[in-house]
Structure 1
Amino acid sequence: MNRYAFLCVAATLFFCGSLLSGSIPKDLPKRGKVTVSPNRTLTWEDFKQVDVIRGKSSINAICLSTCEVEILKVHTYPDHIQLEINAKIQLQKDLSQVSRDFLSRSDEATKKQVLHHENGHFAIAQIIGYRIVRDVNGRAFDPGQYKAQLNGIIRENFKDWKRLDSQYDAQTTKPRNADAQKRWDAFFTSELLDLRQTIYP
């Protein structure tokens, strides 16, 4: 093998080795993730049956979720750091409740409508998780302040969570408004799709 052929083979082997090792491209996007539990549409089996919710017989059901953020990886650069996080959305089964009286006295259409509404609250929790990941991805954090800066992002999104939950109930259940529910359903679908495409293009 002549010297030129040897150099070509060596260059090819180096290039292939670089691809296999993940060094090309040099800076792959650092993307966080969202995990949802349960990762499906909620059923009444996901709710705890109780006699009264929050001491009010007028409340048929309530859906409560948590969003826990964990740092998966810290990427260090000369003047900043970037974070990969996991936003964990978890339905809280003991706190997500349905009235036994409501289940026993309501027809199937009413129970289906109320369950559909409660799934909207679960969708809002997922939206918040994705927004937190979106706001963290690619952000240059101060190496000495990144935990405080991350907490600030979480707090701002939690404020939006409370606002969205309140608006959702006010517009769809006080009184029940089927048209408003359809508008919120469309928002949930489009917002989750946009957020996923932003994070995982």
Structure 2
Amino acid sequence: MNIKTFLYLMAGVFLCVSLLSGTSPKEVPKRGRVTVYPNRLLNWNDFMMVDLIRGKSTINAICLSSCEVEILDIIRDKEHVELAINAKINLQKELTQVTHDFLARSDQTKKKQVLHHENGHFIIAQIIGYRIVRDVNGFKFDPKRYKYQLNDIIRNNFKDWKRLDSQYDAQTTKPTNKEMQDRWDRFLQSEMTALTKEVYH
């Protein structure tokens, strides 16, 4: 995948909207949560088939996700506020693409390898969602500045998102490197396991 093209596309979806609703849901979780759509591994049906991706014949497939942070509740005390948030990770269907040519000419092994790699990008997006929730859980926000402080947390994690995505591509696909892909698989699995425990246990 072409890194410059990938980063250009990501710039369009790396937008996070804080939804500040005036009322709280009836059942507010004690801590923040992460929701993922679709909440499963991706398959080729999740990708839009196109002739070219961003006009480049060198890109076989691309997976793009968005993160939206919703404030579920604001818990106030005398000096601080705490926030319960939902980090919503959504696959961007129109921007998640695979070329007709790649699917037509590639054998099953190659298609499986590329799909596995693209699932890594989707998992990285989920990791960022969990990190945002982790960083917000229990944080003592300034009552007058909590929106700005929340946006700082989101912005810092989005910087890591771009960095991780770039490193992931550079180390696993420039050129294809199975050993590095295996290392990244282990890292992503370990990170997801640790973050899930931090957020939910």
Normalised to the residue count of structure 1, the TM-score between the two structures is: 0.85
Instruction: Write the deviation string for residues 10-58 of structure 1: whole angstroms up to 9, x where unpaired.
Output: xxxxxxxxxxxxxxxxxxx931000000000000000000000011001
Checking the alignment, whether the CA contact within 8 Å between 1:70 and 1:85 is kept in structure 2 is yes
Q: Residue in 2 aligned with 1:11? A: none
Q: Residue in 2 aligned with 1:172? A: 172
Give the whole-Å Cα distance in 2 for the aligned partners of 1:31 and 1:179.
37
Checking the alignment, whether the CA contact within 8 Å between 1:32 and 1:84 is kept in structure 2 is yes
Which amino acid is the alignment partner of residue 91 of structure 1? L
Checking the alignment, whether the CA contact within 8 Å between 1:89 and 1:129 is kept in structure 2 is yes
Give the whole-Å Cα distance in 2 for the aligned partners of 1:111 and 1:88.
28
- Percent identity over the alignment is 69
Checking the alignment, whether the CA contact within 8 Å between 1:34 and 1:88 is kept in structure 2 is yes
Q: Residue in 1 aligned with 2:43? A: 43
Aligned residues: 173
Where structure 2 has 5 or more consecutive residues not aligned to the other structure, the ranges are 1-28
> Is the radius of gyration larger for structure 1 or structure 2?
1
Q: Residue in 2 aligned with 1:84? A: 84
Q: Residue in 1 aligned with 2:117? A: 117
Give the whole-Å Cα distance in 1 for the aligned partners of 2:31 and 2:167.
30
Q: Residue in 2 aligned with 1:152? A: 152
Give the whole-Å Cα distance in 2 for the aligned partners of 1:156 and 1:200.
22
SS in 1 for 2:67: strand
Q: Residue in 1 aligned with 2:32? A: 32
Normalised to the residue count of structure 2, the TM-score between the two structures is: 0.85
